[in-house]
Amino acid sequence: MDDPLVIASLLPPSALLIARSLRWTMCAIDQCFKNPMTSTIFRWVKVLPVSHGDEIYKKAWNLKTEMQYSIDGPVGQVYALEATTEDVLFAGTEDGSIFIWKCNPESNSFPLISILKGHTASVLSLQVGCKSLYSSSMDNMIRIWACGKDGSMGVTHTRDEEHPILALFGMDDAYDKPILCCSCNDNSAILYELPSFTKRGTIFGKQEVGRIQSGPGGLFFTGDGTGLLHALF
């Protein structure tokens, strides 16, 4: 329950009443969705149910119809998920692949449409922004993917960092310029201006920065391995 409750406690109550200002997050079914009342509340504030089990599987939920169904795809660890408003789902896996599914509302399914290859180690984070997909990996690489004229996705730019990239987070600065925050395993988080990748600054933590979340008014938060949460402007 850390994601929905800790982040929510740091925001002004008024921000929680504006759905478009909230990002989707996840919470275990046995914690946030025990009964109809809590299920309604957590779905209203954009929390997705996650099921824990012994088997390796991927499931999707239709929050309007309460239906759930399995998604065909990789066998192994899935480290990153990212969805778009066009009903496209991306997943980064332990073998460096990125799987892509697109919702078919007629059949109420998520057929696999493509697998992207390029990373040589586990894909740990995915972000969609500026009409592109950004992926980071333990191979120290950030790859930018975009659709070509034939509709297939390919790499348009790569960036090699000194250390493995643990997490990516996209946001806008006070002037509405897109910013990409890259958390590395050397306890730093680097801010880049997109699409030029001009370096805007570096944030240092006492341990690895594993979580980044934006807030209202240009505010964003970082959480590191010490258990501390920092608010930054």
Instruction: Name the residue among 71, 121, 120 with its Cα closest to residue 99.
Output: 71
pLDDT of residue 54: 42
Give the model's pLDDT for residue 110.
Answer: 79
Tokens at 104, concatenated:
């078919």
What are the structure tokens assigned to 34, written together?
């025990």
Query: 15-37 pLDDT, tens per residue?
Result: 555 555 555 566 666 677 777 77
What pLDDT digit, counting tens, does each position of 172-200 carry?
777 778 888 888 888 888 888 888 888 88
Q: What is the pTM of this model?
A: 0.66
pLDDT of residue 55: 46
Q: What is the pLDDT of residue 121?
A: 92
- Around 23, how many Cα atoms within 13 Å sit in the side-chain half-sphere? 18
Local structure of 53: helix, strand or coil: coil
How much is the pLDDT for 223?
Answer: 73
Q: Which long-range contacts (CB under 8 A, 24 or more apart) does 181-185 make?
A: 181/212, 181/220, 182/136, 182/142, 183/208, 183/209, 183/210, 183/212, 183/222
- What burial class does residue 19 get, using C-beta atoms within 10 Å of its C-beta: 0-12 exposed, 13-18 middle, 19+ buried? exposed
How far apart are alpha carbons 48 and 45 in whole angstroms?
Answer: 9
Nearest to 98 by CA among 85, 110, 112, 87: 112
| pLDDT beneath 70: ranges in the chain | 1-30, 39-67, 69-70, 75, 210, 214-218, 227-233
